[in-house]
Structure 1
Amino acid sequence: MLKKFIAVSLVAAMALPVTGAFASDNPTDRVRPDIQNTLDSNITVAPGKDEISILAYTWTVKTTANIRATASPTGAHVLTVYAGTQLFGQHGGEVKVVNGEKWVYVWNSANVAGWILLSALEETG
């Protein structure tokens, strides 16, 4: 009897449409950082344009450093940044450890992105 109840419950649950907070009319919904406005969250409701920005870090460069294409001191050079430059990174974003040094993925206001040594950064927001 319990097996029949579970089976019927599962079939009924799959037949019901999803509603509420987890429903979506747009199968192409996506999540990406709002690097334009550096807001912690941004929700738009235009059809087909739903975007959610998740917590982002703001970093200030402490000393001249290089942003690289890969998390490695030998990675291709992308950009040199100087003390006082503001960079952005996603909260909970990937941090890689290479030869005992932590690298974090960041981008600037011009959307130039890459990896930089965490030791060159100071979290400011």
Structure 2
Amino acid sequence: MGEKELMDQEEIFSKVLRAGRRTYFFDVRSTKAGDYYLTVTESKKFTHDDGSFHYKKHKIYLYKEDFSAFKNNLDEMMSYIIEEKGSEVISERHQKDFKREEDVLVENNVTDTAKDSFTDISFDDI
């Protein structure tokens, strides 16, 4: 039996999560002894200048004896992030129309000297 056939035979249950350029595959597989384990694969698509592309994959194997500790750590880390930063994504760089401050200054013809020479004036000064 070939490697591909063996892998298909081991696969019991699968779910896919698409997240932008990344895709996550969650696969329940079977050991030779008939027990189950989980693989989580991150696949990320990269496009070359000529239009061709390739995928980079990273995989973790998670066995039943580690499920509880793994889940506890994952829950703790995710809760920490939500408590510290909230659930809203705050990274502007992930937005399609994101522009760096330098790009905006160039578009508005603001040079470094003009930016540095700006003076705050309050209505109390008038």
Normalising by structure 2, we get a TM-score of: 0.21
Larger radius of gyration: 2
Q: Which structure has the highest helix share of the two?
A: 2
Q: Which fold has the larger relative contact order, with Cα–Cα distance below 8 Å and residues 6 or more apart in sequence?
A: 1
